Chain A
Amino acid sequence: MSVQSINHKREWQRYDRKAGLVRWLCWLIGLAVFVWCWQKISVGTEWSFVLDAPEQGADIIGRMLPPDWGYANTLMRPLWDTLNMATLGTMIAIFIAVPLAFLAAQNTTPSALFARPFALFCIVASRSINSVIWALVLVMILGPGVLAGTIAIALRSVGFIGKLLYEAIEETDHRPADAMASTGASQAQVISYGVVPQVMPVFAGIAVFRWDINIRESTILGLVGAGGLGIQLNSSIGNLDWSRVSVILLAIFATVIVSEWVSARIRKAVT
């Protein structure tokens, strides 16, 4: 109780003593951890280099402007590749993620012992590994190119879409599904009539959201050889050709902004 009676005078504190002490302790621990982390970072850092940075930065920016506009034409094909990787990758991911999500959701999984843990593991594994790492692995297996990038995007997106989708499935109102079951419908019918209509708008939003993120990620997969704008970026940085770098950055920037706008519009239309 935060109200204490002391000498017939009622006092009030926001947290009683125990809660207050706990909060204070948490802050202290957090601070201690943070200081320790900072120490570790400082140890490994060449501070002279860091202080040098603004000067270096100004130098690079000077060389980045003016952007090499003539270069922009050669970017068309890589841009198309990038968009492709994102779109096709998302589509492939949808094909895999949707059944996986239904296997993973508690209320629609056919078997809680085998199917569900398996589906959950797939989703988690795919989510924890960033698309760049997937791309690394795939470039090694399939060779550099757009194919590796597309599959990398797909593999990563499966986890993202799968997780959000199965959470949405679990959050659906169970009453329509119960009503379907009470008419004697099979499990598949119950799902298609009672669950699917509820998750459709959410699913559309998730898919478009992931597509938008994928565009951003595809632009850089080329850095590890997986095709798209990233390849140009890699070679330009390698050649220290900064004015070309800035054109590529601008192209990436513009693409991302457009895709974000498109995805925001679609998501608003769908909710």
Chain B
Amino acid sequence: MPSLRLENLVKRYERTGYDALKSISFTITEGQIVALIGPSGAGKSTLIRCVNRLVEPTSGKVMWGDTDIVSLNTEQLRRARRKIGMIFQEFALVDRLSVMENVLSGRLGYVNFWQSLTRNFPQKDVDEAFRLLDRVGLTEFVDKRADKLSGGQRQRVGIARALMQDPDLLLVDEPTASLDPKTSRQIMRLISELCRERKLTAVINIHDVPLAKMFAERVIGLKAGAVVFDGPSEHLAGEVLTRIYGEEDWEEAGQRALMKFVQLGDAAPTVDPTRLAGLR
């Protein structure tokens, strides 16, 4: 599986002269799970969307293996996007359609229009859909309308949809921003487990620092459109966080986060909590 390499990626909004991304460069090797953190407006969302060109970069390259995604034409881009799965903050499901239809929509890039119009997807796709729904724990909801599900359930449909594409790269944009703390952890755990099972490369845009530390091995910190930190998540400590987010008592924040986990009485985090508490 190829690696993802960004070379001098720039995004500038011409009308306001605003530089959302100021020449970003980094490389992610295959199978790595990277968390992207930073304050609001740092450009995390823009960066993620530049990778699959939902937002058009102003200049720079996005190398996926040997291909520069930025230089692809419409048809090639469509085919490239098939291999890039994306999970959204507000789930982005089609509310009036059933869970099954939403999951199957992950295969739209692989079937022609008539098949999708008549919902006549190949049996192997249906099999995979059932498998994924079982894996994310939504088997009883197959024919339920998407807007009748809870937030956590909807995000799991979104995850199943992204994985239906059988992607090599997973882009995750704030998957837990709309969810309560306990569900957030369940979702993050699900995502990281699935990535490890399928050996997926993943870039996860997340604002919750403790979650980022728990589930990602590498963290990239973004501030005002530039990379200010890039290293293993263990190194994410007080002064680094201050550099990214500004003044804050990070030790206290860490303690608070730890207390939240303990209170929720959920299964112990798979990561040594002292790593969390010792934010020095």
Looking at A3, A12, A13, the one whose CB has the most chain B CB atoms below 10 A away is A12
Across the interface, do A2 and B100 meet the contact criterion of CB distance under 8 Å? yes
Look across to chain A and name the residue whose beta carbon is closest to the beta carbon of B97: A14
How many chain A residues touch B (CB < 8 A): the figure is 9
Closest approach, in angstroms, between the C-beta of A256 and any C-beta of chain B?
Answer: 35
Judge whether B123 is part of the interface by a CB distance below 8 angstroms. yes
Tell me which of B126-134, B166-174, B181-189, B224-232 binds A. Answer: B126-134
Bound-state CA distance A103–B129 (Å) is 56
Q: Assuming A2-B143, A3-B142, is B101 touching A11 (CB within 8 A)?
A: no
Across the interface, do A13 and B119 meet the contact criterion of CB distance under 8 Å? yes
A 1-55 contacts with B by CB, 8 A? 1-3, 9-14
Across the interface, do A10 and B119 meet the contact criterion of CB distance under 8 Å? no
Q: Assuming A1-B143, A2-B143, is B123 touching A14 (CB within 8 A)?
A: no
Residues of A within 8 A of B142 (CB): 2-3, 12
Bound-state CA distance A11–B214 (Å) is 39
The A-B contact count (CB < 8 A) is: 23
Residues of B within 8 A of A10 (CB): 126-127, 130
Look across to chain B and name the residue whose beta carbon is closest to the beta carbon of A10: B130
Residues of B within 8 A of A2 (CB): 98, 100, 142-143
B 91-120 contacts with A by CB, 8 A? 98, 100-101, 118-119
Residues of A within 8 A of B118 (CB): 14
Dominant secondary structure of chain A at its interface with chain B: strand
**Interface code B31-64, partner A: CB below 8 Å = 1, 0 otherwise?**
0000000000000000000000000000000000
Look across to chain A and name the residue whose beta carbon is closest to the beta carbon of B143: A2
Q: Assuming A1-B143, A3-B142, A3-B143, is B101 touching A14 (CB within 8 A)?
A: yes
Bound-state CA distance A11–B130 (Å) is 9
Bound-state CA distance A2–B101 (Å) is 11
A 101-147 contacts with B by CB, 8 A? none
Residues of A within 8 A of B130 (CB): 10, 12
Q: Assuming A1-B143, A2-B100, A3-B142, is B123 touching A9 (CB within 8 A)?
A: yes
Residues of B within 8 A of A1 (CB): 143
Closest approach, in angstroms, between the C-beta of B225 and any C-beta of chain A?
Answer: 36
Look across to chain B and name the residue whose beta carbon is closest to the beta carbon of A12: B126
Across the interface, do A11 and B126 meet the contact criterion of CB distance under 8 Å? yes
Look across to chain A and name the residue whose beta carbon is closest to the beta carbon of B130: A10
Bound-state CA distance A101–B118 (Å) is 46
Closest approach, in angstroms, between the C-beta of B82 and any C-beta of chain A?
Answer: 21
Residues of B within 8 A of A12 (CB): 100, 126, 129-130, 142
**Interface code B74-94, partner A: CB below 8 Å = 1, 0 otherwise?**
000000000000000000000
B 154-171 contacts with A by CB, 8 A? none
Bound-state CA distance A1–B127 (Å) is 17
Look across to chain A and name the residue whose beta carbon is closest to the beta carbon of B129: A12
Look across to chain B and name the residue whose beta carbon is closest to the beta carbon of A14: B119
Closest approach, in angstroms, between the C-beta of A24 and any C-beta of chain B?
Answer: 12
Look across to chain B and name the residue whose beta carbon is closest to the beta carbon of A2: B143
Residues of A within 8 A of B123 (CB): 9, 11
Bound-state CA distance A2–B143 (Å) is 7
Bound-state CA distance A11–B129 (Å) is 11
Bound-state CA distance A1–B98 (Å) is 12
Residues of A within 8 A of B126 (CB): 10-12
Residues of A within 8 A of B98 (CB): 2
Closest approach, in angstroms, between the C-beta of B277 and any C-beta of chain A?
Answer: 47
Closest approach, in angstroms, between the C-beta of B20 and any C-beta of chain A?
Answer: 31
Q: Which 10 A-B residue pairs are closest in the complex by CB-CB distance?
A: A14-B119, A12-B126, A10-B130, A2-B143, A3-B142, A12-B100, A1-B143, A11-B126, A3-B143, A14-B101
23 pairs across A/B with beta carbons < 8 Å?
A1-B143, A2-B98, A2-B100, A2-B142, A2-B143, A3-B142, A3-B143, A9-B123, A9-B127, A10-B126, A10-B127, A10-B130, A11-B123, A11-B126, A12-B100, A12-B126, A12-B129, A12-B130, A12-B142, A13-B119, A14-B101, A14-B118, A14-B119
Not counting A2-B98, A11-B126, A12-B129, a sample of 6 additional A-B residue pairs whose C-beta atoms are within 8 angstroms of each other reads A2-B142, A2-B143, A3-B143, A9-B127, A12-B100, A12-B130
Residues of B at under 8 Å CB distance from A? 98, 100-101, 118-119, 123, 126-127, 129-130, 142-143
